[in-house]
Amino acid sequence: MKHLSLSALALTGLIAAPAVADNYIASNWLAPVHILNEQPYQKLAEELKNDPNANLTFEVYSSGSLVPAKSTMQGIRDNVAQLGVVYPGYSPSELPINNVLNDLVFTADNALAAALAYTEVGITNASVQEEWNNNGGVFLGGYSTPVYNFICMEPIRTPEDAKGKKIRTAGGAQTNWVEALGGVPVSVPIGDVYSGLSRGSLDCTMSDPTNLDKGNKFWEVAKSVTTLPMGVVMGATYVANTDFWQGLDADQRSALLDRMALGLARTQIVYAADVEAAFAGSRERGLEIVAPDASLTEQLASFQSDFVVNLPKKSADERGIADPSALIAEFQSAEAAWKERLSGIDSNDPEAVAQLIRDEIYGKADMAALGQ
């Protein structure tokens, strides 16, 4: 049966939750072939289905067919789905602390380290845990997009090249950065960027390079890519309904976490491989891959430094939360630690990365206590 009301069944006292906890629903607002669906969800469902010892299966609803992206957190809270992808930017008032972390990673230059730092902090930091719990969910792992670059009609090498350019941003620090360069930040849906570049209403977009060839196919209209590392965007790959998570027995949790570790690793590794493929294909199509001038790199470093210094007060004022200085420092420390750990393994090997996640995060945290 499809499990739509675990808490109601448990409250009757007639049925113990684990007895009906073998077939659940996962919601993913991305297409089945998208990296953030195929790697952590489609493969998770298939692997659990083929493991008779897991006693745990998922039916994955894709492309927002169950609940749309902006309602996924509510759908998990209401037990419409027991598992889902949640982007905190869609729920800024409900997840302000998570959005502070997403602001912070405008400074990130390593997507894999950022994703694993977010996973670790999301599971071990009490304030982040509490925020998810207050929204009816248990955070079990996060993702990071590849590092953002400039994708343009004319190359940006120096700060002067950006002046007056109409550049699509996703808001927040990206907007402030473009303004600092003398550019004109433009807020449009990513689906409108292709036409904007081709018609001249946009000169550039800030984007992760996979958009060159995946889905949006910017390489059909853009002329250059500047490999300036302008941070990442993070989200929760796995958020579980609290009653669902607490209703699982130890073996089910172990089976789920084992495969989630692999799902997190595969997602980031495929993202990285797709970036390389996008650059290779772009070169073949004649796009210019531009290394930033030192003056542009230095201005970005100065902006990022000032940004981090000002972020605690800005977050407290604009997001209405307590001073997040300790959280910011914790994330930065975790990010640095993950860079060090990853330097000691083949970070293109999904099983090697997954084992680090199992050992350093799931194996050290009290996973059974999450959501209590």
Over the stretch 264-276, which tens digit does the pLDDT of each residue have?
Answer: 999 999 999 999 9
Cα 358 to Cα 258: distance, rounded to the nearest angstrom: 7
Q: What is the pLDDT of residues 178-211, one digit of tens each?
A: 999 999 999 988 889 999 999 999 999 999 999 9
Cα 88 to Cα 132: distance, rounded to the nearest angstrom: 10
Cα 121 to Cα 141: distance, rounded to the nearest angstrom: 10
At residue 216 the predicted structure's pLDDT band, cuts being 50, 70 and 90, is: confident
pLDDT reading at 1 higher than 80: no
Please tell me what DSSP assigns to residue 41. I
Helices (H) and strands (E) in the chain, counts: 15, 11
How is residue 322 written in tokens?
A: 């307590």
Alpha helices (H) in the chain, listed in sequence order: 6-12, 35-37, 43-49, 72-77, 96-104, 111-124, 126-134, 159-162, 173-180, 193-199, 242-247, 250-284, 294-319, 325-343, 350-357
The residue with tokens 């290394």 is 291
The residue with tokens 């196919």 is 217
Q: Sign of the CA dihedral 63, 65, 69, 73? A: negative
**Which residues contact residue 55 at a Cβ distance below 8 angstroms, ignoring those fewer than 6 apart?**
21, 22, 251, 252, 255
Do residues 91 and 70 lie in contact, with contact meaning Cβ atoms separated by under 8 Å?
A: yes
How is residue 38 written in tokens?
A: 């195929």
At residue 371 the predicted structure's pLDDT band, cuts being 50, 70 and 90, is: confident
Q: What is the pLDDT of residues 133-182, one digit of tens each?
A: 999 999 999 999 999 999 999 999 999 999 999 999 988 899 999 999 99
- How far, in whole angstroms, is CA 315 from its chain's centroid? 20
CA dist list (Å): 20 to 51, 116, 249 = 17, 32, 12
Question: How many other C-beta atoms are found inside a 10 Å radius of the C-beta of residue 221?
Answer: 17
